[in-house]
Structure 1
Amino acid sequence: MSDTEIEESKVGIPGGQVYVKKWIPEFDNGKPPIILLHDSLGCVDLWKDFPEMLSKVFCRVVFAYDRLGFGRSDARSSLPSKDFIEEEASIYFPSIKETLGIDSYVLFGHSVGGGMAINIASQDNDCQAVIAVSAQAFVEDLTIKGIEDAQKIFEQPGQIGRLKKWHGSKAEWVLHAWTDVWLSDEFKDWSLEPAIQNVQCPLLAIHGDNDEYGSSAFPQFISERSGGSSTMLILESCGHMPHKERKQDVISAVKEFLNAIA
């Protein structure tokens, strides 16, 4: 039996209710909680056992939430705007933070969640540190190719069922929220440039050298332009899911990072 306590709730934000899950370790050291931000097709449940592992290893509370339109959160009628990454930081996350009564915190963002974490940290001094895993820093050719390849796979019979398992009737919306926005002409000039220089807290950028959605130019961009101290880790023979493909390496890197800034 797990010795980690789990709490689930719904939080009202502009546009609806979002699902939040909280992991409380048996021994809580009282340090700022870690908040997880999922990727473009992700949700709380797709983190699997990773949040509980973080909670146990670091003796901290861990939060994860489904963005509006994903997982167990309310559906959205329209696709996200081209500014959806910045809007998560300026509109939705602040509501969640306030309702949950969170003061200082550490952000762990995967893929687009990493970009959202950087945008949040650029606006909120309560953020103590950012771990950005496989985060896109801009749109490069490899990003486009990776999304187009995935789009073709999901067009095949039965493939959308993979998303329905996690997002239910919202699965089609989730897919289009990713492909339609990222492949649009309006989004091709998107970049973390406006936000990254305003991040003053310590930052760790982790990236796999075989990431199918972005090259090592992404973590280099993030670490070189961050306004505070930064560390970059490139994992060899690793794709877009380091926290699943190289779980122990990621845990070790986060431990070293957090200990160094303690």
Structure 2
Amino acid sequence: MSDSVAIDWRDRRVEIEYAWLPARHAEQAKAPLLVFLHEGLGSLSMWKDFPERLCDAAGARGLVFSRPGYGRSTPRAEGETWGLDFMHRQAEEVLPALLDALDVAQPAWLVGHSDGGSIALLHAAGHPARVAGLVLLAPHIFVEDITLANIRRAREDYEHGSLRAGLARHHADPDSAFWGWNRIWLHPPFARWNITDALAAIRCPVLAIQGLDDAYGTLAQIRGIAEGVPGTELLELPQCGHSPHRDQSAQVIAATNAFIHHRRQR
């Protein structure tokens, strides 16, 4: 069951849908906190049971939420368009405001998928004291032709296929979620978006995971992270697309659990 909390953002009050997952196998005060950052078309509900399964395996608490414009959070304002810095604003404005509103003081492990992985990287670079570690699922650090080609296909599916109906099960306003994401990614200047320069500021441990059959990015993404953040652990999964937590969930949970426990013992 989700709840909501209000934050001030972009000169207005917005409601953020969120849910806590309590620890099951650890003392509450000592349990690591995992914060889940969804993909560009995702939401709290689109994670399904993955956060609960991962937290259960890791003996962790979890915080899952929908960013503004997604899920049951406040939709985009009428006529609102996102800028080239939309992921930076999520990392530097929305996430800190949400954590403050929920009185989260301990450093968190950020589990980010796709755009959520990029936001996690940017937050770790700008707020190192708030981040214990990063688990990145198919993140983006620059724009590739394969990404844009499949985002164009998604637009066709949304306008003429079944994608809108599918998203309507997870978003109060599917147009808010889809067009906010699709229009900025396909805005011609966004082809130059690149966050590799931010990687040098990251000080926490990183696990970067990507499928070998990812239709939205190549292995150059996570290998680029490893070049920019020394000590990054990579997991490259066969028979896996853009959603490793769905396509190879058991391997992702096992690798993440081992990563968190190993790093916490250092």
What is the TM-score of this pair, normalised by structure 1?
0.93
Q: Which residue of 2 aligns with 1:18?
A: 16
Q: Which residue of 1 aligns with 2:59?
A: 59
Are positions 1:179 and 2:177 aligned together? Answer: no
Are positions 1:109 and 2:112 aligned together? Answer: yes
Q: Which residue of 2 aligns with 1:74?
A: 74
Kindly report which structure 2 residues correspond to 1:100-249, keeping only aligned pairs within 5 A, or say none. Answer: 100-103=102-105, 104-124=107-127, 125-168=129-172, 170-226=173-229, 228-249=230-251
Separation of aligned partners in 2, 1:221 and 1:86: 19
Are positions 1:9 and 2:4 aligned together? Answer: yes
Structure 1: which amino acid aligns with 2:157?
I
* Per-residue CA distance 1:26-70 (angstroms, 9 max, x = gap): 333423300000001100001111111122111111001110010
Segment drifting more, 114-123 vs 180-189: 180-189
Segment drifting more, 70-79 vs 157-166: 157-166
Separation of aligned partners in 1, 2:251 and 2:53: 13
- 8 Å Cα contact 2:5-2:101 kept in structure 1: no
* Per-residue CA distance 1:129-164 (angstroms, 9 max, x = gap): 001100011001111111111111112155411111
SS of the residue corresponding to residue 160 of structure 1 reads: helix
Segment drifting more, 75-84 vs 113-122: 75-84
- 8 Å Cα contact 1:7-1:23 kept in structure 2: no
Separation of aligned partners in 1, 2:111 and 2:64: 10
Separation of aligned partners in 2, 1:100 and 1:240: 30
Q: Tell me by how many angstroms 1:10 deviates.
A: 2.1
* Per-residue CA distance 1:236-260 (angstroms, 9 max, x = gap): 1110011011000000110121122
Q: 1:7 to 1:60 in 2, by over 3 A?
A: farther
Separation of aligned partners in 2, 1:7 and 1:39: 18
- 8 Å Cα contact 1:11-1:19 kept in structure 2: no
Are positions 1:91 and 2:61 aligned together? Answer: no
Q: Which residue of 2 aligns with 1:3?
A: none
SS of the residue corresponding to residue 152 of structure 1 reads: helix
Q: Which residue of 1 aligns with 2:256?
A: 254
- 8 Å Cα contact 2:54-2:257 kept in structure 1: no
Separation of aligned partners in 2, 1:235 and 1:34: 22
Q: Tell me by how many angstroms 1:7 deviates.
A: 6.4
Q: Which residue of 2 aligns with 1:39?
A: 39
Structure 2 residue runs without a partner (length 5+): none
The alignment of Structure 1 onto Structure 2 pairs a total of residues equal to: 255
Q: 1:7 to 1:68 in 2, by over 3 A?
A: closer
Segment drifting more, 151-160 vs 119-128: 151-160
- 8 Å Cα contact 2:108-2:133 kept in structure 1: yes
Segment drifting more, 127-136 vs 29-38: 29-38
Among the aligned pairs, what percent are the same residue?
A: 28
Q: 1:244 to 1:157 in 2, by over 3 A?
A: closer
Separation of aligned partners in 1, 2:162 and 2:47: 23
What is the TM-score of this pair, normalised by structure 2?
0.92
Separation of aligned partners in 2, 1:215 and 1:254: 21
* Per-residue CA distance 1:97-119 (angstroms, 9 max, x = gap): 11111121100000000000000
- 8 Å Cα contact 1:89-1:119 kept in structure 2: yes
Structure 2: which amino acid aligns with 1:209?
L
Structure 1: which amino acid aligns with 2:192?
D
